[in-house]
Chains A and B, each alone.
Chain A
């Protein structure tokens, strides 16, 4: 166990180092101390980008785990529950109504909109016929589509399609020092979730069991909702939507080590960071000197993994 954890951490660090070294400007990380320009590229662009990818990946993966335990369904993620689209809607509203407002106002608006959207999703799935496990993700995908079409339409009317295009497809090429720091808040929110890990694990055992163990299901639900919404809103505003990451990473980790979240959440976070870093590096290398947005790569990869998960024979029954 220890050994595997160490190996995982080493892999994550290696990916981060590679991420520091890859990019349009040819630099060598080792020369940074002696060469001022190299240092500048490193500190202003590469390091912020690497940190931004790692933070976004970790936070999204954790919020995926949370939303999955809130709705007790493995086939959902923050990008298939209307959360990200609602965040974009909130952001759009502020951009239109009060274009001059500072960034934190936009964040707060996006977070509240994301919360409302996720709550709407939960209301919808509560009314679905029980036992139809697959209906939950379908409803989420359709809800995301409907909200997304509202966003596109409003943006089109207000001539803001370009902005929205940036929010809708996640990429890290624009990340520089001073433009990603809010992602630390997302990372913090995900860390906070770890404090409540046991509560989320118990909640996913069912309302009956949770109440029987003296848990206030409503307050755990609210807590989870806030974390998921804040993470989604921050990621959407800073780098744009990243599809499937929050869905597939928790599934894969649960497959290997189960759902005891206190033990597995750190692994989920590290795996999310690692996967997103790997995709981002691939995106930078594939058509260099151009870049492929990470959301395009994850769209293909994530959809394929999802299909495998969907048809994998369940371990029992």
Chain B
């Protein structure tokens, strides 16, 4: 369980996050959705102690973020950032190997090596494992960082836009793998997703944010409604059902075209 009490965060005078209280259930796949600039990344970084807490309290599995040593935290919670690029020249296997660091502190055992190979396999990186990161495509780099986070093998995984740069097949495979992981091992995953249908199809729990506040949270069916999503993104969407789950139509839906012709679409700039 991750519990957040009364969290506020500001940069200078600007409030970035206001009045956030949240408890994220264990053993579930949580999708964090919201428009650009809503504060999703900031919230994730605060949960992963990457930014200092200004007020409020966060506990992960009962461990208080403010007082738990960082290396103990690293065996409980892993985070993958939104922007993944490194200046250092590492091979894929070396990068993924660093995911095991919290467990062996520099003296890898056989089990660590197996975990690394398993993570490499899981993301289809075996053909590139010996290559340098700067010789890979954007999606392959993204998968290498995902594999590193997986190799860390923690009870909680926070993933900021893990689907970035991934093609449809790899995106689906990732979501399926996350769902599987949650189901089989009782681990918990929080992932920021922009394409709400991935949330609709795979997430157990959805948290919607806007302007630094939590707008809604709950089961996917409860949150992913027409009214809520249209409000959240300031753009009209339709929600139908498919396979017993919500299916969000926004790209080519007829209503959108009708709106366009009536000139009802909001200025996209408002979203940012």
A and B touch in the complex (CB under 8 A): yes
Contact present for B132 and A213 (CB under 8 Å): no
Q: How far does the alpha carbon of A228 sit from the alpha carbon of B81 in the complex, in Å?
A: 30
Nearest Cβ on chain A to B136's Cβ, whole angstroms: 8
B169 to chain A: which residues have CB within 8 Å? none
Counting residue pairs across A and B whose Cβ atoms lie within 8 Å, the total is 88
Are B79 and A198 in contact, with the CB atoms below 8 A? no
With beta carbons under 8 angstroms apart, the residue of A73, A202, A211, A314 that contacts B49 is: A211
Give 15 pairs: A residue, B residue, CB < 8 Å, sorted on A.
A72-B88, A201-B98, A205-B90, A205-B98, A209-B98, A212-B48, A212-B74, A212-B79, A212-B80, A213-B102, A214-B71, A214-B73, A214-B75, A214-B101, A262-B106
Residue of B nearest to A216 (CB): B70
B88 and A204 within 8 A (CB): yes
The residue that B90 contacts in the complex, of A72, A215, A258, with Cβ under 8 A, is A258
**Interface status of A74 (Cβ within 8 A of chain B):** yes
Instruction: Assess the A72–B135 pair: CB atoms within 8 A.
Output: no
Known: A209-B81, A258-B88. 6 other contacts (CB 8 A): A201-B88, A208-B48, A208-B79, A211-B50, A254-B88, A259-B89
In the complex, B213 has a CB within 8 A of chain A: no
Residues in A whose Cβ lies below 8 Å from that of B49: 211
B66 within 8 Å of A by Cβ?
no
In the bound complex, do residue A258 and residue B98 qualify as a contact, i.e. CB atoms below 8 Å apart? no
- Answer yes or no: B110 CB below 8 A from chain A CBs: no
Q: How far is the CB of A136 from chain B (nearest CB, A)?
A: 11
- B86 interfacial by beta-carbon distance below 8 Å: yes
Contact B134 A212 (CB under 8 A): no
CA separation between A72 and B87, bound complex, in Å? Answer: 7
- Answer yes or no: A21 CB below 8 A from chain B CBs: no
Q: Interface 1/0s, chain B 55-81, versus A by CB < 8 A?
A: 000000000000000111111001111
Q: In the docked arrangement, what's the CA distance between A61 and B152, Å?
A: 32
In angstroms, Cα B102 to Cα A305, docked, is 38
> Is B91 at the interface (CB under 8 A from chain A)?
yes
For residue A37, give the distance in angstroms from its CB to the closest CB of chain B: 50
Q: Which DSSP category, helix, strand, loop or mixed, fits chain B's interface?
A: mixed
| Residue positions of B touching A, CB distance < 8 A | 45, 48-50, 70-75, 78-81, 86-91, 94-95, 98-99, 101-102, 106, 132, 134-136, 152
Q: Which residues of A contact B79 (CB under 8 A)?
A: 208, 212
Are A258 and B86 in touch, CB under 8 angstroms?
no
Q: A205-B98, A214-B101 are in contact. Are A315 and B134 (CB under 8 A)?
A: yes
A191 to chain B, nearest CB (A): 15
Whether, in the assembled complex, A316 has its beta carbon less than 8 Å from a beta carbon of chain B, the answer is yes
CA distance A199 to B86 in the complex (A): 15
Contacts of B134 in A (CB 8 A): 314-317
**Nearest CB on A from B251, distance (A):** 29
Q: Which residues of A contact B72 (CB under 8 A)?
A: 214
Does A44 make an interface contact (CB < 8 A)? no
Asked if residues B73 and A207 are in contact (CB atoms below 8 Å), the reply is no
| Pairwise interchain contact A213-B135, C-beta atoms closer than 8 A | no
